[in-house]
Amino acid sequence: MRDSEWFGGVAIIAAVVVVLVGGFAIASETSGGSSAPSSVAVSYLNLTIQINQTTGWPQYSPANFSVPSGEVHVKIVDQDIPASWPGCACNVTGTQGNVESINGSAPVSQVSWTAVAHTFTVARLGINVLSPAQSTVTFTIWLNQTGSYAWQCVDPCGADGFTGAPMGVPGFMAGTMTVF
Ligand SMILES: [Cu+2]
């Protein structure tokens, strides 16, 4: 390589760096201006599962709630006592990537039946999320259509497995999610 070729290469690299730095500066100015680019609406939904002190039943709180359409980051804090669900396939479906994160872990697409205490299941949207006791579950869902969607826990957490309260009791292990 001759010296003139080497210096030519350096000049081209320097020019590219200048263009990149210049582009970054322009992008920063634009994002701080009044005409911010249209962005995807992101909202947050926090649900808690606690033992109702009056009935002694585990209860989702809130059980009936409204959430904007778009991308929703959901967090479920499950404070119930440990439980298991023998025979459960316990696959995560209907979330972004069909995964959930438990206590900040790497995303998982399946949860061991030995740990599952409750579920958050929205049949019409194909959403099924597993909730281990005394854990925090996070996941992201996309809500494309407004309307009312029934949700329920399909884990047999009732007095007699699949039957009996609070299974299917509105305000406890069932409710309505309104997408607006
Ligand atoms: Cu349940």
Distance of CA 144 from the midpoint of ligand 1 (Å): 26
pTM confidence score = 0.78
Is there a single domain that holds both residue 70 and residue 86? yes
Contact 49, 81 (CB under 8 A): no
pLDDT for res 3 = 52
Distance of CA 21 from the midpoint of ligand 1 (Å): 54
Please state the domain count of the chain.
2
Strand ranges across the sheet with 147-152: 65-67, 174-179, 147-152, 116-122, 127-132
Distance of CA 138 from the midpoint of ligand 1 (Å): 17
* Phi, psi of 10, deg, nearest 5: -60, -40
Mark 111-127 as b/e (b = at least 16 C-beta within 10 Å).
beeebbbbbbbbeebeb
Distance of CA 58 from the midpoint of ligand 1 (Å): 7
pLDDT in tens, 143-152: 999 999 999 9
Is there a single domain that holds both residue 80 and residue 119? yes
Is there a single domain that holds both residue 116 and residue 132? yes
Distance of CA 91 from the midpoint of ligand 1 (Å): 16
Coil, helix or strand for 18?
helix
Is there a single domain that holds both residue 10 and residue 54? no
Q: State percent of the chain over pLDDT 90.
A: 74
The CATH number that applies at residue 140 is: 2.60.40.420
Distance of CA 173 from the midpoint of ligand 1 (Å): 5
For the residues of 51-119, what is the DSSP string, one character each? E-TTT--EEEESSSEEE-SEEEEEEEEE-SPP---TT---B-BSSGGG-BEETTPSPBSB--TTTEEEE
pLDDT for res 134 = 97
pLDDT in tens, 27-66: 333 333 455 556 667 999 999 999 999 999 999 999 999 9
Is there a single domain that holds both residue 50 and residue 32? no
Q: State percent of the chain over pLDDT 70.
A: 78
Give me Rg for the CA atoms of the chain: 24
Distance of CA 143 from the midpoint of ligand 1 (Å): 23
- 122 has a pLDDT exceeding 50: yes
pLDDT for res 123 = 97
pLDDT in tens, 64-91: 999 999 999 999 999 999 999 999 999 9
Is there a single domain that holds both residue 120 and residue 93? yes
Q: Which pair of tokens denotes residue 119? A: 């579920």
Is there a single domain that holds both residue 145 and residue 71? yes
pLDDT for res 139 = 98
Is there a single domain that holds both residue 60 and residue 137? yes
Burial of 165 (0-12, 13-18, 19+ CB in 10 A): middle
Q: How many CA atoms lie within 13 A of 175 on its CB side?
A: 16
Q: Could you list the residue range(s) of the whole structural domain that residue 71 is in?
A: 42-179
Is there a single domain that holds both residue 105 and residue 164? yes
pLDDT for res 41 = 79
